[in-house]
């Protein structure tokens, strides 16, 4: 099947791989063949430090933990976990650029030179890890000053095992360093901070380098691997597409109408959503209740969807979970976050005896914990699934049903719209506001339309069923969609107990008309709006937003195929004429 997709890729004479459907022009543009100064900087930093005896590498998890605890601001909690704060306490999205969507030039060369100069003055920690389960031959190298060794500790927990590792030629390299602007940054808002984050995407394995100036947030390292994996799968290895989606595998009893008896059915469900929409919570709850049933989490944040519909997660060691709202309703994650093996970032810690308090978010709403997979009973042994059956997109919008069924065209268009909310993990100053993020993935680089078309072909060819779920509030009163309601809905879905309408609702979605465990009375948004004039205004504003987005999107990337573009409403005047019940 892979050969069917190779026609989607072409290569310029200059040597840079690009994407483009046959007959279309490239939207990546021509890239001059020039030296990868980021890669050269990474190699020089490593080579000089090793030659001069300033390099700390090949350490075990235990040794890195001991190293991290020597430094100011890093503490060992009463339960034995490591805790530290980062600066800033979130990703530096406003200060980040990549070499595909932005032209790199003198400023980036200067950044590379500065990294070499700064890291040439001190001892550095070099952490080498595998990516995924190692079977794809992908590795990562993280370089940072010794006094930020806690970053290395957390990343080793996330990507690797406890033993030491040194690789000769890492696939990805991520560099952290700080300068004189780092301390003054602490008193500024994120948008005002003097931070530079740049990603060199490269055209072949080994050329991917990220440089992080004046940020010590561990998530920058994790998301570097995330973004590089996305680009590798799509444009370098051409093995599929990377989605911002975790996955779970459930073996549940499902009644077979033809056999007239229950059958134990394996179902793999991918869950996609932005930070703070409930992705990890959804993936780490057991739906198995009956004898011989089982539930397991394969991966919680992202993975490669191959052309045959297979899924491969990319973090073998642990999960990077958000601790805001972490309580007894999420027992497995809470237990793992409270273990001695966890790394806590920006989590409130009491005065001696240093105990974490996940309910205290006065420091930030973006507290994080890296928890080991071995401390999660629901975590699977491996990171792969041969076939994906469902994809569920998580969003938060009171006009959305608890769950809606999507056609392949609607699923593709919904991912293009990327409708969700901002979180403290992205831009803390705008947390809770409506936002659009293409494919619910802030880390995609390059041509978005071609990315969408590859996704469309994969789900159509492999008959992957897609759904849109609302994990926020619903209806005019914006009542909370409870975790119990969400889990009951997913249970009904996997046990084939959900039935959907043949006619679309007021936003074009197919809504639930029958269920078993979920509460049907509060599943559909339309009946929960008593004031239809108010709903009409909301729909108009919503569709105006879509219209404006489409105009900008298509002016940049080209026309979306009509069968996909028109699968969801976006022209509010025409939509109101077709839906008289909104009048």
Dihedral, CA of residue 380, residue 386, residue 390 and residue 394, to nearest 10: 50
Q: Does the pLDDT at position 478 exceed 90?
A: yes
pLDDT surpassing 90 at residue 183: yes
Name the phi and psi angles at 100, rounded to 5: -90, -40
Q: What is the pLDDT of residues 535-558, one digit of tens each?
A: 999 999 999 999 999 999 999 999
Is 560 exposed, middle or buried, given 0-12, 13-18 or 19+ CB atoms closer than 10 A? buried
pLDDT at position 428 is: 62
Q: Give pLDDT tens digits for 213-222.
A: 999 999 999 9
How far are the Cα atoms of 160, 234, 451, 479 from residue 136, in angstroms, in the given order? 15, 14, 22, 45
Average pLDDT for 486-512: 96
**In angstroms, what is the C-alpha Rg of the chain?**
24
pLDDT of 495 > 60? The answer is yes
Residues facing residue 500 across a β-bridge: 512
Q: Tell me the average pLDDT of the chain.
A: 91
List pLDDT tens digits, range 297-353. 999 999 999 999 999 999 999 999 999 989 988 899 999 999 999 999 999 999 989
Residue 363 burial class via C-beta count within 10 angstroms: exposed 0-12, middle 13-18, buried 19 and up = middle
Evaluate if residue 145 carries a pLDDT over 70.
yes
Q: What would the pLDDT profile of 58-69 be if each residue is shown by its tens digit?
A: 999 999 999 999
Q: What is the pLDDT of residue 420?
A: 87
Cβ atoms within 10 Å of 305's Cβ, excluding its own? 27
Question: Residue 39, Cα to own-chain centre: how many angstroms?
Answer: 25
pLDDT in tens, 149-170: 999 999 999 999 999 999 999 9
Local confidence band at 432 (pLDDT 50, 70, 90 cut-offs): low
What predicted TM-score, i.e. pTM, was given to this entire model? Answer: 0.91
**Helical ranges in 7-36 per DSSP H:** none
């Amino acid at each position: 099947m892979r050969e069917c997709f190779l026609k989607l890729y072409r290569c310029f004479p200059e040597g840079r791989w690009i994407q483009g459907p046959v007959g279309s022009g490239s939207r990546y543009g021509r890239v001059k063949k020039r030296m990868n100064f980021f890669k050269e900087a990474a190699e020089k930093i490593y080579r000089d430090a090793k030659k001069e005896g300033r390099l700390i590498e090949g350490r075990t998890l235990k040794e890195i933990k001991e190293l991290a605890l020597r430094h100011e601001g890093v503490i060992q909690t009463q339960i034995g976990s490591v805790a530290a704060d980062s600066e800033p306490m979130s990703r530096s999205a406003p200060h980040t650029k990549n070499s595909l969507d932005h032209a790199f030039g003198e400023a980036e060369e200067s950044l590379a030179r500065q990294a070499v100069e700064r890291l040439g003055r001190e001892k550095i920690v070099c952490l080498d890890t595998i990516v995924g389960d190692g079977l794809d031959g992908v590795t990562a190298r993280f370089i940072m000053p010794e006094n930020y060794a806690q970053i290395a500790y957390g990343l080793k927990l996330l990507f690797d095992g406890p033993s030491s590792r040194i690789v000769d030629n890492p696939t990805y390299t991520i560099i952290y360093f700080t300068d004189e602007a780092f301390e003054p940054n602490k008193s500024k808002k994120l948008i005002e901070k003097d931070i530079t984050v740049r990603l060199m995407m490269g055209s072949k394995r080994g050329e991917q380098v990220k440089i992080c100036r004046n940020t010590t947030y561990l998530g920058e390292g994790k998301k570097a691997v995330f973004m590089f994996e996305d680009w590798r799968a799509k444009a370098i290895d051409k093995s599929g597409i990377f989605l911002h989606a975790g996955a779970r595998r459930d073996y549940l009893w499902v009644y077979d109408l033809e056999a007239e008896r229950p059958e134990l059915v394996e179902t793999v469900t991918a869950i996609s959503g932005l930070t703070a929409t409930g992705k990890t919570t959804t993936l780490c709850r057991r739906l198995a209740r009956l004898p011989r049933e089982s539930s397991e989490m394969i991966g919680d944040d992202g993975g490669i969807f191959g052309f045959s519909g297979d899924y491969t997660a990319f973090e073998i060691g642990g999960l990077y979970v958000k601790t805001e709202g972490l309580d007894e309703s999420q027992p497995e994650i809470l237990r793992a976050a409270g273990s001695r093996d966890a790394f806590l970032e920006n989590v409130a810690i009491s005065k001696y005896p240093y105990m974490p308090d996940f309910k205290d978010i006065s420091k930030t709403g973006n507290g994080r914990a890296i928890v080991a997979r071995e401390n999660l009973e629901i975590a699977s042994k491996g990171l792969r699934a041969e076939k994906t059956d469902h994809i569920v997109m998580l969003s938060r919008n009171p006009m959305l049903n608890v769950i809606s069924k999507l056609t392949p065209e609607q699923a593709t268009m919904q991912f293009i719209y990327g409708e969700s909310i901002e979180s403290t993990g992205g831009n803390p100053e705008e947390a809770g506001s409506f936002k659009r993020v293409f494919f619910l993935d802030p880390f995609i680089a390059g041509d978005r339309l071609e990315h969408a078309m590859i996704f469309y072909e994969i789900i159509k060819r492999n008959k992957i069923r897609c759904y849109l779920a609302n994990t926020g509030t619903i209806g005019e009163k914006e009542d909370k969609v409870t975790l119990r309601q969400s889990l009951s809905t997913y249970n009904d879905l996997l046990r084939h107990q959900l039935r959907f309408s043949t006619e679309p609702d007021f936003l074009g979605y197919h809504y639930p008309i029958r269920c078993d465990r979920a509460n049907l009375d509060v599943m559909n948004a339309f009946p929960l709006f008593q004031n239809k004039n108010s709903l009409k205004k909301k729909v108009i504003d919503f569709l105006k937003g879509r219209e404006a987005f489409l105009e900008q999107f298509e002016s940049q990337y080209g026309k979306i195929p009509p069968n996909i573009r028109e699968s969801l409403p976006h022209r509010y005047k025409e939509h109101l004429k077709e839906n008289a019940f909104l009048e």
